[in-house]
Chains A and B, each alone.
Chain A
């Protein structure tokens, strides 16, 4: 009895001491020496428990149970301390690693697509979704495709509105002359000749005029021309196609207007306008007080144009349209000088 009681007393002392010492542990090395002292192979606890064998069987059971309990208690104390120390260490290092998150990041150089490129892409997407293919044609063009094929013979007043840059070239058979195309309808003139119905194509590209630069003119600008040829294509289809384009490009709420206009290569001829976004139709400086902004010319392809391309206008009907590109981003963003598109100025281009 006496021996067992003595051992229990010793174990109780170990427990007390271990707890006291653990309270004083402040770092990993102190914790390690605590572990060696109380949980190691040569610890006091081990030494005391080694004496168990000398106890009578009934006392051995009770003391042994207490000893095991103490051991797992000390292990638990150890683990708690270990976790607490790690936590404290993380906190301490986090506190040391403070950065000024408001400093700028290390940025990669950023490029921008030109607003004209973006506009052409956007328009091509709208028309390709309606079954149009995208085609290309030469910028240096024969007089024939730019004018004659489109009912604009020499001396036609429409030529005066499209002053041309002619190419200095050697004599060509038939006195053919080359010029920088003045409108993308020249591509449509070629398509009427090379494609067979049903045709649905759009052709974006550069066009040229013999004109000095100012805020609303540049000697080079962009157009996208469209052409559809099939049996039974109507002016109502033209209206539907262009209204759908306007709805998708300008949004649902903008009113659209179709009025009679004249282009030598279409009959009936159309000019389409959208409601002025600034004054909503009331009239302002931007729209010249009309409340409307012209955005494109169109119409039913003239029978002579189809005939020249070898398409029978009695069998096939066709419509064509031409959209000026620059105007669209100018209206969308309120850009008041067309020359900015050709200035290559990063301060301008970075905004798109």
Chain B
């Protein structure tokens, strides 16, 4: 909402600078987003009248011009071709800041002698004042402007660009803002006096109004003005409309817009003679009905939309836009003027379905008071009579099925104190409310406050409390800290686990990234080496912005692989990325299962690129990250074969903790990599944190530090190449005296026969109760070997 300070001054005397007005409005709830000054710095510039024009003694093209400034006369040298005795002009005294008419540069005017004649100032062109590019001659003002008036007061203005919150439709008007300003600077509001002559016959004899849908139209008022002459509205009105961002059309339409801006009540003008049967019917649209709106578009209407109709047809979409069939034109001679009130949700849904934003709809949607209609109608009728030379028919039509009694809100002084944390006292509260137009009645520490008719937003005690607080000022409320007792918290362990996993991954060189949760089918398809339907089908957004943002992601993989590829364009070293976030698994019914996941991708080298070679990553680096992570969480992870489509068939493993699958690690399938335009191996680690959470909360088991020394023996075996480390290790570890069995070499090649491999283990023997002897260790080692021979056909390597 744009409000001109000059217009505001019609209703309230503003004595403080505009910036201070803006500050107070902002603090009290009407945010001033911008303050525009029209006219700039016009100090020492005022209205003058040319009283004499004499030739310059030394120059043919210059004149000695005498200017009357009211209290004084000044003589200046002027070269403009349009200097004429009697004209009102703009005079700049020395010291004024002007723009050079030729160079456009700003300069400060000094006293000067021009060709030997003293010049006390300047008569200005529009360009010199910064008003336009016109420098052909001096600016000539209308003859009725008072001599001596500062130019700022004449054409200068300040525009407040206000952000009005949806609860304050009353502030979508100059008078509404004037009321706020008046309260905030301690002044009174003075409303325009509305008076006009009425003539017979009365409206009621020329017009009838019927509200068929009172649930959607609480009030409909109308007036009739005949003998009008439609033409452009006067300059002052056009200027005000333009300053507020509205385009002038003609004197009738401009008045409806002007009064809407002034009072906040939308109005609509019909060409009276186009209304069939001289009857207005407010009803729901018929099935299949349509109307061509004022913008020339044919609109299909539905029975839940409210229309204004005559006997035969719809003539306006109520509260949203008028119809072309009854539009006021140059030929119009009689105006039916409507000021009504409509049900906000109905207006909203009609406007929404028709995709028709309008100033009227904007105000009705926010619930303006039905009381406003009559005030605005009378004002608009007066202005139309004044501007069109028309005659107002006697009386007004007012159908008001939705009239409600004024309901006071009961406010407890104590409640206000308890809610705000400060006691402003009953007297100050009442004073504040009265300044806002409330009627107040005090009874035993209770205030019965009846809001003024324009405040449709005040319904509850807290609404009144806010009024008191915002006018006295939120800065008067002290700042205190919450007291005891602290609420008992049942901490959610998930944030803790997330933080732990995040900091571990960052320590292992992974960078935390964020992708949008919305993704496209194309991205999901890229994760599949063989095309097939995605199971489960992802959740779809009904109104997707783009195809890339149509579905909720089922995993974090695609975003990370795309991020890997994008970073590879400028990173030639290692890339390690991870994302932690939700994935959305549909459940068929109800809200989806939102699972907290973490996924990491890595490619490149083990160490950062440097002057020394580093080795490229392989599967065991990714697995190592998983192992290190789980060790840090105090969990023992096992790895089992797995069959994840997006991963390399032989280079992937399921991560198992306490018999539950918590994730997967592996090399990304080459075809998936190709789909993401990645041409290097990338390793992926994915963990479902929700499954992991209960496991991670298990109490850690404490084992005493060993008291007896260990015996360490190495053992090299030759086995079939299909025998896994896990199998061998579990056999060795099945012996109680074996504390550790670490593999330190795996070899297949010339030294062993084809189809075989050699595996070397370092065994640590220890007993919890005694020092073992070499014999003890040898005995167990023998037993281990025979078990290995029996179960995996192992041969001790010589």
Residues of A within 8 A of B (CB): 103-114, 116-117, 121, 124, 130-131, 133-136, 138-142, 153-158, 165-170, 172, 178, 180, 197-200, 206, 208, 210-212, 218-220, 228, 230, 232-237, 239-241, 243-244, 257-262, 264, 267-271, 288-290, 300, 302-303, 317, 341-342, 344-347, 349-350
Contact = CB atoms under 8 A, between A and B. Distances in A.
B539 to A, nearest CB: 6
Given A166-B542, A220-B517, A234 B418 contact: yes
Contacts of B641: none
A170 B589 contact: yes
Contact of A260 (B474, B549, B567, B607): B474
Given A108-B608, A239-B479, A241-B482, A300 B509 contact: no
B512 A112 contact: yes
20 contacts: A111-B505, A114-B512, A136-B492, A140-B584, A141-B591, A154-B349, A157-B366, A165-B518, A167-B540, A178-B591, A235-B420, A239-B474, A239-B477, A239-B478, A258-B475, A262-B168, A300-B419, A344-B577, A346-B567, A349-B511
Interface string B358-383: 00000001100000000000000000
B567 A344 contact: yes
A106 B606 CA distance: 11
B690 to A, nearest CB: 11
B478 A230 contact: no
A133 B487 contact: yes
A268 B512 contact: no
Interface string B568-600: 001100111110011010001111101000000
B462 A108 contact: no
A155 B495 CA distance: 37
Given A235-B419, A235-B421, A262 B29 contact: yes
B432 to A, nearest CB: 13
A166 B545 CA distance: 11
B491 interface: yes
A262 B167 contact: yes
Given A234-B418, A258-B477, A268-B470, A228 B482 contact: yes
Contact of B517 (A138, A197, A206, A257): A206
Given A106-B610, A112-B512, A121-B499, A261 B165 contact: yes
Interface centre among B349, B418, B421, B491 (most CB of A within 10 A): B421
Contact of A268 (B422, B462, B492): B462
B552 interface: yes
A228 B482 CA distance: 9
Given A139-B517, A235-B420, A346-B511, A156 B166 contact: yes
Contact of B29 (A121, A197, A240, A260): A260
Given A112-B506, A135-B492, A243 B421 contact: no
Interface in B209-265: none
A117 B28 CA distance: 35
Interface string B763-794: 00000000000000000000000000000000
Contact of B608 (A109, A257, A341, A347): A109
A134 B513 CA distance: 22
Given A133-B489, A347-B570, A349-B511, A232 B418 contact: yes
Interface centre among B346, B562, B584 (most CB of A within 10 A): B584
Nearest to B574: A109
Interface string B541-564: 111110001001000000100110
Contact of B469 (A105, A219, A235): A235
Contacts of A111: 505-512, 576, 578
B29 A259 contact: yes
B480 A110 contact: no
Given A167-B542, A268-B470, A158 B567 contact: no
A107 B512 contact: no
Contacts of A258: 474-475, 477
A201 B783 CA distance: 61
A140 B348 contact: no
B516 interface: yes
Contacts of A134: 491-492, 495
B131 interface: no
Contacts of A290: 26
Given A131-B482, A157-B166, A166-B541, A236 B512 contact: no
B466 A168 contact: no
B514 A241 contact: no
Nearest to B33: A288
Nearest to A239: B479
Contacts of B541: 165-168, 180
A344 B516 contact: no
Q: Which range holds the interface residue count of chain B?
A: 35 or more
B485 interface: yes
Q: Which 10 A-B pairs have the closest CB atoms?
A: A109-B509, A236-B421, A234-B421, A155-B345, A262-B165, A344-B563, A268-B466, A260-B29, A111-B506, A157-B166
B420 A234 contact: yes
A238 to B, nearest CB: 8
Interface in B733-770: none
Contacts of A268: 419-420, 462, 465-466, 469-470
Given A157-B365, A237-B421, A261-B165, 17 more contacts: A109-B510, A133-B492, A140-B584, A198-B485, A219-B545, A219-B549, A220-B516, A234-B418, A236-B480, A262-B168, A267-B460, A267-B462, A268-B419, A268-B462, A269-B466, A300-B419, A346-B575
Nearest to A349: B511
A170 B586 CA distance: 11
Contacts of B28: 259-260
A167 B517 contact: no
B27 interface: yes
Contacts of B422: 236
A1 B56 CA distance: 146
Contact of B566 (A136, A199, A257, A344): A344
Contacts of B510: 109, 111
B682 to A, nearest CB: 14
Contacts of A239: 421, 474, 477-480
B463 interface: yes
A210 B544 CA distance: 8
Contacts of A138: 591, 594
A197 B486 CA distance: 11
A108 B509 contact: yes
Contacts of B485: 198
Interface centre among B167, B474, B515, B581 (most CB of A within 10 A): B474
Nearest to B488: A198
B612 interface: yes
Interface centre among B419, B491, B518 (most CB of A within 10 A): B419
B480 A210 contact: no
Nearest to A164: B543
A236 B420 contact: yes
Interface centre among A154, A239, A350 (most CB of B within 10 A): A239
A166 B550 CA distance: 11
Contacts of B469: 235, 260, 268
Interface centre among B27, B489, B574 (most CB of A within 10 A): B489
A142 B486 CA distance: 31
B366 A235 contact: no
Nearest to B499: A121
A158 B559 CA distance: 33
Contact of A109 (B35, B508, B543): B508
Nearest to B608: A107
Contacts of A349: 511-513
Contact of A131 (B346, B486, B584, B608): B486
Given A133-B489, A157-B348, A220-B516, A235 B33 contact: no
A163 B541 CA distance: 13
Contacts of B582: 139, 206
B345 A104 contact: no
Interface centre among B168, B466, B487 (most CB of A within 10 A): B487
A241 B34 contact: no
